[in-house]
Structure formats: structure tokens, C-alpha cells
Amino acid sequence: MPACVLHAVGDLRCEQVPVPTPAPGEALVEVAAAGVCGSDLPRVFEKGTYRFPLIPGHELAGTLASSPPSCPLSPGQPVAVYPLLPCGRCPACRAGLGQLCADYDYLGSRRDGGFARYVAVPVANLLPLPPGVSLEDAALAEPAAVALHALRRGELAAGEWVWIVGAGPIGLLLAQWARALGARPLITDVDPAKLALAARWLAPEHILDSRAADPLPWVHRLTAGGADLVVEAVGLPDTVRQAVLGARQRGRVVLMGNPAGPVALAQGDYWQILRRELTLLGTWNSSCQGSPQDDWHTVLAALAAGRLELAPLVSHRVCLAELPGLLKRMYQRREPYVKVLVIPKGE
């Protein structure tokens, strides 16, 4: 089968590899679409995966090609794939918090993932699609669940102001979820194209290009003193500082942007956390079956009900052979993009 295989940092090749043989309790999924996550770029070009060679790609959906006798799903069933494989034994797993597992496996970084025609997946990680949910939308269920998980961590309530720092795919999904939950979202970024896309879901006066104006006075003016919740979805020192200073007294700040380097706060900014009694929260991945808050089934239900729009986020659809070159251009900032979908059948 064709697959994009990472042999070393920076060495991603599209080549023919054997079709995986599912282990006991696993099914073989024919990948219909796989999304490129922002974390895939440093994974391919800087940090590498946990072993080599390995097939990246953790945002995926497809159809069952084969399944074990114990699987309640039949071949041909369209499925979304939850990429985190919790151990099921550690205290976090026993508490239903698989995303905090101490000994997890992961498709696309620790074991072969979705940038391939087929992938072997544990049956427990397969989610059948509700009627009306497309396979392309299902491939983006993972970032949609990550965004929902962040807002749940921040305990966002209807009517509250939420400032989303960063209008990448996750930021745009945060904006959609916030609106769906009855909150009042604001969003800022430095990319005019992404901000133009945000206008599909937010009023123009709730969108700001932070290159053109300091976002802090803008946020404080619109919210009369600061946002109830700020979600930092960039991971830069300046945007973390903005998130802290943009929250109201006793407001909440959710940190979800992956940092590219050290993040430090000046003494005066740190004091603001203390003086205004802010709550800082981390968020990691998303929750699925067995969790008190099952983000994935909430996403699939929202897609079936038409409460989320994922197709407008897709800026590129490419086949496997095109992926290595596109990822290089993206990493070198020579290719504007929002969300890239890999379509393995396009070979």
C-alpha cells in the first residue's frame, strides 16, 4: 500500500509498504481522509517520532476493511478514529481520564498512523459515524474534540465572554463551539486570511488583527473589564502574556498552545495573576469512551445536527505523493494554509 513514512527527522518519503496485519482486538481501517495537525510539522522536521520508521497522522477517518469476531461493527462501516490508546490500568484510566494516561500509545507518533491507505486500530478506538456525517468531517473530529475539551476545562458558560488568542484551525473551532454553547467569543490573530474565515461565525466587531492594534484595550473595552475565559491557542510568550492580562478579575485562562520554546512572564504580569486571583488551567488532548465528559461523541452528535461547520476550514486536499512537498513548504512558511486533508485514495 502507499504510505508517507518518516525515516528520520526531515526525511518523509511516500513509498510502498506492507498492509498492516491487525493484532488481536484490532481492526483494519481503510483511510478515507487524514488531517495534518500543526504538531505534525515539528514532529516531521524538528523532534521526530518515538521510533523510526513510522507513519505519521493522527487525525483520520475511514471505513472498516476487516474486523475481529469480537467487533460489533461490520466491514464497510464508516468510522472516526480516536488516536490515543490509553493503557486502561493506571489511576487516570481507572478514573475515566484516558487523556492523562501514564503509559499511553498514540497513532501517528508512537505507532503507525493515518498517512497511509490502511491503518490497524484497536476496536475500542473506533467510533461509528452517525447518519449524515461525512468521512472528511469525521477526519476533523479530533481537533474539534480538542477544542471542545479546552472550553470544558475552562467551564465556559452561556453568556460569558471568551477571548480566543489565535485563529488557526483549533482557534476557529473554539469560536464555533463557544457560539454553539451560547457564549460570546472574541478572536485575534495576525493572519488576515484566517481572520476573514472567522467572520463566517463571528461578528466583524468581535475579530481583531493584532498586528494593527493592541488587543488588550480592545478586549477590556468590549467585555467591560476583561474576558471571563481566555483560551491561549498559540504558545508564544507574548500571547501567553496577553491571555493573562486579558482576563477579568477571578477570570480563567486555559493554556493550550504548544510552546516552541521557553515561556516566561515579567514580574509585573505575574503579579496580575495574584492580584486578580486568576485561575490558570492546562488542557491536553480530548476525552472519549468511559470519560465523564465524552468529547468525541459530543462532536459527532453536533456534526450530525449541523451545529459545526468543518468543511470551510479545509484549504488543501492532497494525495499521499503530494504530502511531503506540501509539508516542507508549510514548514518553511512558503504555503498559506488553514487545514490540510490527505486523501489516500487520490493516488
- Counting the structural domains of the chain, the total is 2
Q: Across the chain, what does the average pLDDT equal?
A: 96
pLDDT (tens digit, 9 = 90+) per residue, 56-92?
Answer: 999 999 999 999 998 999 999 999 999 999 999 999 9
Average pLDDT for 179-191 = 97
The answer on 225 and 108 residing in a single domain is no
What is the model's pTM?
Answer: 0.97
What are 192-201's pLDDT values in tens digits? 999 999 999 9
Q: Are residues 297 and 275 in the same domain?
A: no
| CATH code of residue 20 | 3.90.180.10
* Grid cell 495576525 in the structure block, residue: 190
> What percent of the chain is modeled with pLDDT above 70?
99
Give the pLDDT confidence score for residue 260 in this predicted structure.
85
**Domain boundaries, position 263:** 155-282
Is residue 208 in a domain?
Answer: yes
- CATH value at residue 239: 3.40.50.720
Mark which of 250, 266, 282 sits at the end of a domain: 282
pLDDT for position 293? 83
Residue ending a domain, among 248, 282, 316, is 282
pLDDT category at 297 given cuts 50, 70, 90 is: very high
297 in a structural domain? yes
pLDDT tens, position by position, 223-250 = 999 999 999 999 999 999 999 999 999 9
Indicate if the pLDDT at residue 175 is higher than 90: yes
- Rounded CA-CA distance 247/290 in Å is 33
Q: Residue 343 in contact with residue 317, Cβ under 8 Å? A: yes
Asked whether the predicted pLDDT for residue 153 surpasses 70, the reply is yes
Asked if residue 147 is part of any domain, the answer here is no
Summarize the confidence of residues 101-123 as an average pLDDT. Answer: 97
Does the pLDDT of residue 106 top 90, yes or no? yes
In a domain, 148, yes or no: no
149-170 mean pLDDT: 98
For residues 306 and 226, membership in a common domain is answered with no
The answer on 265 and 310 residing in a single domain is no
Choose the final residue of a domain: 230, 248, 282: 282
Instruction: Return the pLDDT at 347.
Output: 60
Per-residue pLDDT at 291 exceeds 90: no
* 102 and 114 co-located in one domain: yes
